[in-house]
Amino acid sequence: MNIACLSILVLLVICVTASHIKVASVYVHKDGKHEIVDALDKDAADAFGNLEDKFETEGFYRLHIRAPGRDASAEAYAAGVLEGHLLAQQIHDHVKNQIDDNKYLFDGSCAAIDTYMTENYNFLLTTSAEKRDGSDYWRKVYLMMRQLQGVASGYADSGLPAISVMEIFKVNMLGETDDLQGYLCPAHATKDIDTTMHCTGAVRLLPDNADILFSHDTWSGYSTMLRVMKDITLPSHTANDAVSFSSYPGVLFSMDDFYLTDQLAVIETVCTLPYLSLP
């Protein structure tokens, strides 16, 4: 009886543990349409990966995405689709939080910033497509825009309430909107410097140069507490095949500005200037 009970308990623990990991693979067909399969295909897929739910124990979800390095454009789009699929509920919740917390950016009350966002999105989309073959910089921008569109497409397949690619783009732009808000929407600008400062960091060299330690601390509101540690390998996309960084659902970069590669640890901190104009 005890052995049977123990076996059931072990089986239950295994099932519960497995339920916290979601896996998927994405295929991008020649007609541009994508296919998502909830299984790992490391050979034929344009991107594959998994999502670990470590939120209750670590405060982070852990997203792992890999691509084989055959077709940069297809793999960038597939990586975005994969994130949109695996993190669909978290993207919904995070975008909703940002809409509630940054109403001026989403509710149409500041026409100037709506115009700027739309023109900026279209400029990045068209210019990167036109110049990607002759410029490494614009090639990277093009791949990021493909990945952003992939996030929107992957999320759209989830059946959750609609979120547009422009709303996802605006959430990705939140690191810039403090400055834009003060210039384009002064009536909505935040006057309290304490609410706009974002993070701090430290670097310490151990005695006798034994090692070097990096520390990063994000200061932000409760609306940004849906955190994701991302481990992304896109061989045809980045100079370093693999990069790990702290981020948010549907956001393609760190925004905290904390990155790790096999050679570098990269951190950045904010020094806010409380002046609407320089002397």
What pLDDT band is residue 178 in, cutting at 50, 70 and 90? confident
Distance set, CA 11 to CA 15, 23, 51, 71 (Å) = 6, 20, 22, 41
Summary mean pLDDT of the chain: 86
Q: Give the pLDDT score at 188.
A: 67
Q: Give the pLDDT score at 190.
A: 61
DSSP readout, 113-139? Answer: HHHHHHHHHHHHHHHHHHHTTT-HHHH
Q: Give the pLDDT score at 158.
A: 95
Please classify residue 250 by burial: count the beta carbons closer than 10 Å to its beta carbon, then call 0-12 exposed, 13-18 middle and 19+ buried: buried
CATH 3.60.60.30 at 19-267, yes or no: yes
Q: What's the one-letter identity of residue 272? A: T
Q: Give the pLDDT score at 237.
A: 64
Distance set, CA 13 to CA 7, 22, 23, 168 (Å) = 10, 16, 19, 37
Calpha distance 12→231 (Å, rounded): 29
> How many Cα atoms occupy the beta-carbon half-sphere of 17 within 13 Å?
6
Using CA atoms of 255, 261, 264, 266 in order, give the dihedral in degrees to the nearest 10.
10
What pLDDT band is residue 12 in, cutting at 50, 70 and 90? very low
| Predicted model pTM | 0.85
Calpha distance 96→106 (Å, rounded): 10
Q: What is the pLDDT of residues 120-170, one digit of tens each?
A: 999 999 999 999 999 999 999 999 999 999 999 999 999 999 999 999 999
The CA-CA-CA angle for residues 192, 194, 197, to 5°, reads 115
Judge contact between 102 and 177, C-beta under 8 A: yes
Count of beta carbons in the 10 Å neighbourhood of residue 242: 14
Q: Give the pLDDT score at 5.
A: 41
Percent of the chain with pLDDT over 70: 84
Closest to 256 (Cα-Cα) out of 225, 213, 211:
225
Q: What is the pLDDT of residues 48-94, one digit of tens each?
A: 999 999 999 999 999 999 999 999 999 999 999 999 999 999 999 99
